[in-house]
A and B are shown apart, each in its own frame.
Chain A
């Protein structure tokens, strides 16, 4: 009987201690849910922190994110939803801390902490080889894939005697190759080992301005038929090809008059099946690639001298006119005239390409200036917003300059193509390049630019 009483006494003490422990313990994190791939591709992704009990509301001040990120926080029942304001950085370990979390049933509070690491990003590059071996054969051109963290230029994923350009799809590449007779062909090259599939072209001719909408498995390009080719004539006519469509045939984009259009530029709206095209007369149109051929699918966006891509993470198209630039928000048609702050180099150097980095007027711009001691030019890229302007990158040697640059889809990096003034031209009929091109990644946050990849046409910019 003593055994019984003893056991009961011990159990009672344990129950009492556990009761006290439970009453003084705040809510605990039981699971966390976040789409990591989405978090580096889109803004506004949500992290769901599931706790073990219903919570009183949490406000933004209780939430800190390291590295610093804007968030909003809401509570539903026992879960805290943290919504990120922007797109997250690649390959970065984030720590989300929520302080003073309190359950509805008792006053004990606790601090929740969740750590996650965002994925690295693939970087593709095109390397052209102009060397000719003893037998007179040209070395093949190669598309390589690496990552930000990776070493060197990475693994070859495709090679062909002459590659003009390529575009990245979710599990494939679209590649434009140039044949012996200078005509081009377009192929879909699977990255998972399946066969490569040629995209049928209307006749002999050349494909240019290849664009891809990776998440939608769509490609678009312009086609110009050779003067000697039989059949209908095309001149820079945009075509759209849907990898998922059963027909396997590209469709051509007709203008307002019903005849094939001729365009000077085109671009997919990120994450959608829609395209903007700029006709020869500088009229810009919006159209849905999947609704091609139906009436009224062309939405005019006005005349602009240049289309300059999209602000990262948005659907705001940047257009340039001789006197000013503006953005067109394609979700509602709002046009905002750009009123950008002056860059530090505006007065001293020749301005080049301009890329908007966010909706608040922060932009990166290339400047070329005469170096101090020679007659050569060097390039610099400045990042400017309303508060400050600084040089984030400068070419190292006087014989190299920036050819072109773009911003990564999450707005974290600039990818700049650096060419050497003593490089040899490859004399390709379209998109000619020189030897010795490299891609430099510039971290906009830290200004670090120590990752370089040989080749050009970084996949981010396609």
Chain B
């Protein structure tokens, strides 16, 4: 078993990777710049796995030398191996792929990361094409303190998932996205506050929505946010194929 553990785990990983690639869901886990590299390596590794199945003989006593402990240790080791393989199969092959949720938003401080926008980009943004602005562009402008006058006549069209505001969850929610620089592990939540009393009745947390609206001073007195979107209507939408922003 021990000898084949690596091959089996490789196989699980390869199948999961290729399947995600074919179904266009690799973006749920890694930055698009790795797509091609990941798929190519998976295919090469798949070839090696098949070759290994064909030509690798039974383990030699060299294994025994590298293994530590006696018979009991070996038994525990095998049980651990089986457990890891089963867990890998369940996580990678059985469970449906999914994006990060509001649980991670809570864990990672919405709009808290300083590295999501550099100054150079910021000045380039002002006077840019507002129609193409994403959640990331707007949230960075809000964070820089572009005032109410700046936002007054601008209309944002943004898509993101719904996550409650910490200070006034009754009336305000964020339309949020995760900003990913390498893979989902470093995802930083960013979002734009939306004033929409009673939003819980219409939208579930983590459901995806598209909002087209202007910015206003926040009518909510208890919310920490100063400028919010105040939409008349919010359109529920499907999760986009690239759920993260880069």
Contact = CB atoms under 8 A, between A and B. Distances in A.
Judge A-B direct contact (beta carbons within 8 Å): yes
Interface of A: 31, 33-38, 42-46, 48, 50, 76-77, 79, 81, 83-84, 170, 214-217, 244, 269-274, 288, 313-315, 331
A214 B126 CA distance: 11
A46 B127 contact: no
Contacts of A50: 114
A331 B144 CA distance: 21
Given A38-B126, A274-B153, A33 B147 contact: no
Contact residues of B: prevailing secondary structure: loop
B68 interface: no
B112 A271 contact: no
A45 B144 contact: yes
Interface residues of B, number: 22
Interface in B121-148: 122-123, 126-127, 129, 143-148
Interface string B139-170: 00001111111101100000000000000000
A79 B114 contact: yes
Given A46-B144, A79-B114, A35 B149 contact: no
Contact of B149 (A48, A273, A314): A314
A271 B149 contact: yes
Nearest to A274: B153
Contacts of A215: 126-127
A409 B237 CA distance: 42
Given A33-B144, A38-B146, A83-B145, A271 B152 contact: yes
B139 to A, nearest CB: 13
B119 A272 contact: no
A328 to B, nearest CB: 15
In this complex, the member of A33, A45, A48, A313 whose beta carbon has the largest number of chain B beta carbons within 10 angstroms is: A33
B147 A34 contact: no
Contact of B147 (A31, A43, A170): A43
B89 interface: no
Contact of A45 (B145, B148, B153, B217): B145
Contact of A77 (B109, B127, B146, B153): B109
Given A33-B118, A34-B144, 17 more contacts: A33-B117, A33-B144, A35-B146, A38-B122, A42-B146, A42-B147, A42-B150, A44-B148, A48-B114, A48-B143, A77-B109, A81-B145, A170-B127, A216-B153, A269-B153, A271-B150, A271-B152
Contacts of B118: 33
Given A50-B114, A272-B153, A273-B153, A37 B146 contact: no
A84 B147 CA distance: 11
Given A42-B146, A45-B144, A83-B145, A35 B126 contact: yes
Nearest to A288: B153
Of listed B112, B118, B119, residue having the most chain A CB within 10 A = B119
Nearest to A119: B123
A110 to B, nearest CB: 18
Contacts of A45: 144-147
**Shortest Cβ-Cβ A-B pairs, 7 listed:** A46-B145, A272-B153, A44-B147, A50-B114, A37-B123, A35-B122, A45-B145
A34 B119 contact: yes
Contacts of A84: 145
